Chains A and B, each alone.
Chain A
Amino acid sequence: MKTNLNIKNRVAIVGAGLTLFRRRMLDTPKELAWGAVKMALESAGLDIKDVEAVVIGSAPDAFDGVHMKGEYLSDGSGGIGKPTMRVYVGGGTGVFTPIAGWWHVASGLFDVVIAVAEEKMSPAQPHPQYVFKHIWDPIIERPLGLNLIWIFAMEMHRYMYRYNIKKEDVALVSVKNKANALDHPAAQAAGKITVDDVLKSEILVWPVQRLDISPVSDGAAAIVMVSEKIARRLTDSPVWVEGVGWALDSTHWTNRDLSYPKYLEVAARMAYKMANIENPRKEIDVAEVYDPFDYKELHHMEGLMLARKGEAPILTKEGITQRDGDLPINPSGGLLGVGNPIAAAGLMKVAEIFWQLRYEAGKRQVKKPVYTGLAQAWGDLMQVGTVIIMRGG
């Protein structure tokens, strides 16, 4: 990766908003987007007329049930009469949306940009899972009746086999995140559960059980991104976007080693280089890593080099990733606890780091002092990593 460090313009996040995350919502997708954008603008002290451009993130059109979903969402997103574009990297979209927001501002073309992510999965019948039938290669994979949980189970099992990880060690992630979510106002799947509850939950595709998985959800999230001069005018506590990175692996997932997310390492190295981070384990104070399944939190910690290969379960067991630990991971409650409206869930993570770095997370505020935070998402065919690094003022 040849990354040019001549970044001309700094970019700050000055506001964030969320809707509730729920299994199904009455509100239309554009109304959900509006709810999140409205809250983000109010928290930034800005009006819709101040917004110069809009970036929309949303995962497959086949959930909301509208072709050209970016068009459909543009009014609720605040994009009427403005430069508006939708970006898309599958499940990684939630963290990619603010990366696109970053380049809108860092290009010098815009001073105030909204990044909004929305997903309404509930319209898809008879179950949103059906949409995943269509993410496979139509010729060589779909005829085998491939199921989304299968592919993740295959990755999970390869990872567990490679580093000799026990199921109960993975389950700790689910226990932690669902408990963390008890303090989150948007949460859909918070709860006090035990490792035993996870191990006794319905076996879907061994080694995946029901409580290893995040729910399907409707919801939206938004942030306001501004140039340095606007940030200084608006707030004493802007949160700076200091590093962005993303990378895609080959489409051919059966030609990869599934035990390690190398694409995420590539993405993370890009972001760390830009943020001048040499030792992520020491320099990242708090992280929101993508956890649609409990093992993914561990897998991603390793890809982000926050833990050595095979070490993430040990850190988890030692309590280091708890809110009062030395490396708090997913203090929001993550996708496992707050819910998983795909793109919105990724942007929710960015919003959480924003609140953590401003010490505005209330009961979710991590114990240690925080200066540098990271949010990450993952998607496509287990092939894309998206990373954003933020610093407090």
Chain B
Amino acid sequence: MSSEKIIRPNEVIQWFGDMEIGGYIYTVGEAGERFFKTLKDKGLLVASKCDKCGNKYIPPKTFCENCFSEIKEYVEIEPVGIVETYTILHVDKDNKPISPPIVVAFISFDNIKGGLIHKLKINTNELKIGIKVRAKLKPENERKGNINDIEYFEKI
């Protein structure tokens, strides 16, 4: 058993480089297709429903976490949920200060496993666990079929 604290001597050369490529393009799978196309076209959320154990999931899954069955059934719901927890971010991805701060919440939906992480537009003194919120979507012609088609959630 031994350890080594690494101290870099001055005569050692630093070599700059990266591990980047041209970028990534992700496909979203069958459930993702349903979710984002419905969000874009109808402004609704989609849960997938396991016909074996009855579990419903958002984000929708093509397989059930509980019984591992394939899921082929989907249900649409209004984008209205409950704030399960929240945080207020005063820094961006590079730790630079942001003003005004961004509120981020985890929002759950009635009788559905999972939920969504998203931004919350709210007066911070109203912010608490358990409040009811609704998604504010971008105008239909600006939606692209991704999670940012929701601009934020807001209190109702």
Contacts and interface: CB of A to CB of B under 8 A. Distances in A.
| Complex: A in contact with B (CB within 8 Å) | yes
Interface in B1-49: 15, 17, 19, 21-30, 32-33
A75 interface: yes
Contacts of A125: 21-25
A62 B21 contact: yes
Interface stretch (B62-70, B94-102, B122-130): B62-70
Nearest to B23: A125
Contacts of B21: 62, 124-126, 130-131, 133-134
17 contacts: A24-B27, A26-B33, A27-B29, A28-B26, A28-B29, A31-B30, A34-B68, A38-B63, A41-B68, A48-B68, A62-B19, A65-B24, A78-B68, A124-B22, A125-B21, A133-B21, A138-B15
Contacts of A144: none
A270 to B, nearest CB: 27
A300 to B, nearest CB: 29
Contacts of B15: 138-139
A190 B24 CA distance: 28
Contacts, number: 66
Contacts of B29: 26-28, 31
A126 B65 contact: no
Contacts of B22: 124-126, 130
A183 B156 CA distance: 60
Nearest to A24: B27
Nearest to A60: B19
B139 to A, nearest CB: 28
Interface in A56-73: 62, 65
Interface string A303-342: 0000000000000000000000000000000000000000
Contacts of B19: 62, 134
Contacts of A76: 63
A153 B68 CA distance: 44
B101 to A, nearest CB: 26
Contact of A28 (B17, B24, B32, B70): B32
A138 B29 CA distance: 35
Interface string A61-97: 0100100000000011010100000000000000000
Ranked nearest first, the 10 interchain pairs of A and B with the lowest CB-CB distance are A65-B24, A48-B68, A130-B21, A125-B22, A28-B29, A34-B63, A123-B24, A126-B22, A125-B23, A134-B19
Interface in A128-172: 130-131, 133-134, 138-139, 142
A199 interface: no
A25 interface: yes
Interface string B50-62: 0000000000001
Residue of B25, B33, B67 with most partner-chain A CB within 10 A? B25
A133 B68 CA distance: 37
Nearest to A25: B27
A75 B65 contact: yes
Contacts of B24: 65, 123-125
A27 B62 CA distance: 9
A389 B114 CA distance: 43
B30 A26 contact: yes
B51 to A, nearest CB: 15
B25 A123 contact: yes
Contacts of A34: 62-63, 68
A173 B22 CA distance: 34
Given A38-B70, A126-B22, A130-B22, A80 B65 contact: yes
A360 to B, nearest CB: 23
Contacts of B30: 26-27, 31
Nearest to A130: B21
Interface string A13-35: 00000000000111110010010
Given A24-B27, A26-B33, 15 more contacts: A26-B27, A26-B28, A27-B29, A28-B26, A31-B63, A34-B62, A34-B68, A38-B68, A41-B68, A62-B21, A65-B26, A75-B65, A123-B24, A124-B21, A124-B24
Contacts of B62: 27, 31, 34
Contacts of A124: 21-22, 24
A26 B23 CA distance: 18
Contacts of B70: 38
Interface in B124-155: none
B68 A27 contact: no
Interface string B61-99: 011010110100000000000000000000000000000
A24 B26 CA distance: 10
A126 B24 CA distance: 8
A149 B25 CA distance: 24
Contacts of A122: 25, 27
